[in-house]
Chain A
Amino acid sequence: MPNHRSEQTGQPPRISVFWLVAAFALASTIGVLALRTERSSAARMWTFARLHYAMYVPAVEEWNKTNEPKVEVSLLGIQAVEQRMLSSFLTRKSGAELMEIERRIASRAFAGPLDGVGFLDLTDRLKAEGLDQKINASSFTPWSTRGRIFGLPHDVHPVMLGYRADIVEAAGIDVSKIETWDDFITVLSPLLYDDKGLRRTDRFLLNMWETHMDTIEVLLLQAGGGAVDPDGMPMLDNDANARVMAHIAAWGHGKDPIAGDAPYFSASGNRLLLEGFVIASFVPDWMCNVWRNEIPQLRGKVKLMPLPSWERGGRRTSVWGGSMLGISRDAENHDQLWEFAKHLYLSPELSRELYTKGDIISPVKAFWSDPMYDKPDAYFSGQAPGRMYINLATDVPPRYSSPFSLLAVERLRTIASRLASFAKAQGNATPESLLPEARRLLWEAQEEVMEHARRNRFITPLEGEGS
């Protein structure tokens, strides 16, 4: 007899594994087939933000009562939306008819030829209905490529500083004197020292770190820099970028560090905010809502103020985030979906919901006169955040999307890290002393990203582009 038998132990015969698994196979296949409903004629919509989802569900129910097509909204994680979006475009299997896309992801959709973009081109519709005038201009920029607009903007997202008014006012400091970043440091630096004149280790002025890519971009855009230019080409190597990067590194690791790391969107970061570890954080309109929900203990202790500008008379706000609603090019009933999209994004009811539930101001200029924006907010010590943000809305810098955005932003992230290490090594660094190195790193990065840009065969080479 073959000797393999000796390997089996003297166990009582049990059910053959094979038949066990086969039974599972049969049962589960029946289950799956039974559950497989015909892909209903409902239009699917994906979103990634819990807040948006909560608002859309009732709105969609309303729509479904009297309109076609019926819409089904699902909530997916942001990476999941990105992955599904890309897969559905690349495989032409329509994932969802409507996709709410965040800014960082949108640029991925633009990586191929113009007719490869998976979203419906909305430019003509927008112009025909005058929506391009009715909606805040800068809100369109992240969703456009090569002169065509592919998404309906959701928001404006101006950025202000949210600061610990209780600490600041207790020290007798008046923030209305602050106009530029230099002012900011000068006016608030007394808070860095304790009553004996010793430098505190548990207090910084600004919530900013080289790992916070979002806030780095906020500052870059404010200064007129950024990752890509209006034509979609990388523009890393410019004065504004260099200046901002040098400042950021000096603020974190220079001679007089004023920046501390209280990570945004983390429980530990929230704790640090409560402890007063950082005085001011970057607060776009939606961040108000995050704070309200996650750090209720700050109620009545914080206020908002416009961003200090980079030079006198300069821009006092920036932009952080943004979403759009895109219609899948492969969907069948574009006109109906377009009606739905407009209904969802541009209706006054929803814009009211957006503000009252989410603190987000509408991109539709006509709605800005709504009195709800002027309502005093107890969380922000009686200020009216809505109105404050609206006052900054037209000043919001444009930010451009391109297939190379992701790469360019990635490079910026690396540069921030490297500049930070350089500053630490240099010791006693100042923004001026770091400027040359910042310039050098940006130039290097620009070359690298241009390599990639030149390589892409699907983007028509633009005029004036050298090699």
Chain B
Amino acid sequence: MKSTNMQPQTRDAGTGGAAAMSALSYAFVLVATALVLTPFVWLVIASLKTNEDFFTSTFLPTRGGFFDVAWERLTFRNYLAVFEQPNFARALLNSVMLSSVTAVLATLACSMAGYALALLSFKGRTGATWLVLAALIIPPPLLIAPGFQVLFELGLLDSPWGLILPAVTPAFGVYLFRQAAISSVPKELIEAARLDGCGEIRTFFTIVLPLLRPTVSAFIMITFLGTWNNFLTPQIVMQSPEGFPLSVAIAQLKNTYYQDYGLLMAGTVVSIAPVAALFLIMQRDFVSGLTRGAVKG
């Protein structure tokens, strides 16, 4: 990431202290990274071990000495067992569906609203903006119980719509797109489009949205990730096991097979891997999208 770095090149001339500092901080970063990555490594190895090996070895199973790794004892059996669980594969599908549908719908809804609030003039715009700000402040725990009541009365319990619809218009998303629209969409462009006879809606889809692309990418990924990892809402809204996403399914797996560590770890890997893969490829956009609002503000 090219950036204006704070320390100019002329520094560090000959000061041994600075070199020691550099070495120290490098060591610090190395240790921290090792500590952070170890659970992941351990997780993957654990998912490939049998339960007996769980008791004897910390990482890889060994035959005798420390380096005599017993590769033949590693097995994919746990992964097979995970998918033999009724409804686990279904849970994976549910997670993909809920996350992607919510992400797409939320992106559309929030970008539309954010753009309208930023650049269109209409009666009630001020009121709507205040509405967004107010909704931003409301803490989620306040709405859990009454929200459940509302879903009950709408008959949306035990349905994926009960999870998707409430998540489609988060205030923070509207706010994000509003800021992005203000800074990235030049008014002149919009006016030019209007003069060309382009309808407002068409303007939005053909001109504005492409300009907002980085925010769209970031937001869609944030929403996808958030929905994938969400546990509380699916736990209280979904009743039938076929409707559970991975987060709930894995909690249930732990409950039934609390001692089958290999199985649990394999299930966890299956639950994390898709998202991890997607994001490690796209991490740059994700990070820049996250920090955008904070650093400027």
Contact = CB atoms under 8 A, between A and B. Distances in A.
Q: How large is the interface on A (under 10, 10 to 19, 20 to 34, 35 or more residues)?
A: 35 or more
Contact of A32 (B93, B184, B284): B93
Contacts of A35: 90, 93, 242
A65 B104 CA distance: 47
Contacts, number: 97
Given A4-B214, A22-B104, A87-B236, A77 B252 contact: yes
B115 interface: no
Contacts of A108: none
B211 A76 contact: no
Contacts of B107: 18
B95 to A, nearest CB: 9
Contacts of B99: 24
A36 B258 CA distance: 30
B104 A21 contact: yes
B58 interface: no
Given A7-B288, A21-B224, A93-B157, A31 B184 contact: no
Given A17-B217, A83-B235, A9 B100 contact: no
B255 A31 contact: no
Contacts of B255: 76-80
Contact of B86 (A24, A32, A74): A74
Contact of B216 (A9, A17, A80, A84): A17
Interface in B35-66: 55
Contacts of B293: none
Q: How large is the interface on B (under 10, 10 to 19, 20 to 34, 35 or more residues)?
A: 35 or more
A28 interface: yes
A31 B97 contact: yes
Q: Tell me which of A17, A25, A35 has the highest count of chain B C-beta atoms within 10 A of its own C-beta.
A: A17
A28 B104 contact: no
A29 B217 contact: no
A24 B224 CA distance: 11
A29 B101 contact: yes
A378 interface: no
A28 B97 contact: yes
Interface in A68-120: 74-80, 83-84, 87-88, 91, 93, 95
The 9 A-B residue pairs whose C-beta atoms are closest, nearest first, are A77-B255, A28-B97, A25-B100, A77-B256, A24-B100, A28-B96, A80-B252, A17-B217, A25-B101
13 contacts: A17-B221, A17-B282, A17-B285, A18-B216, A18-B217, A25-B101, A25-B104, A28-B101, A35-B93, A74-B86, A77-B254, A80-B252, A95-B239
Interface of A: 2, 4, 7-9, 16-18, 21-22, 24-25, 28-29, 31-32, 35-36, 48, 50, 74-80, 83-84, 87-88, 91, 93, 95, 266-267
Interface of B: 55, 86, 90, 93-94, 96-97, 99-101, 103-104, 107, 152, 157-158, 160, 183-186, 211, 213-214, 216-217, 220-221, 224, 235-236, 239-242, 251-259, 282, 284-285, 288
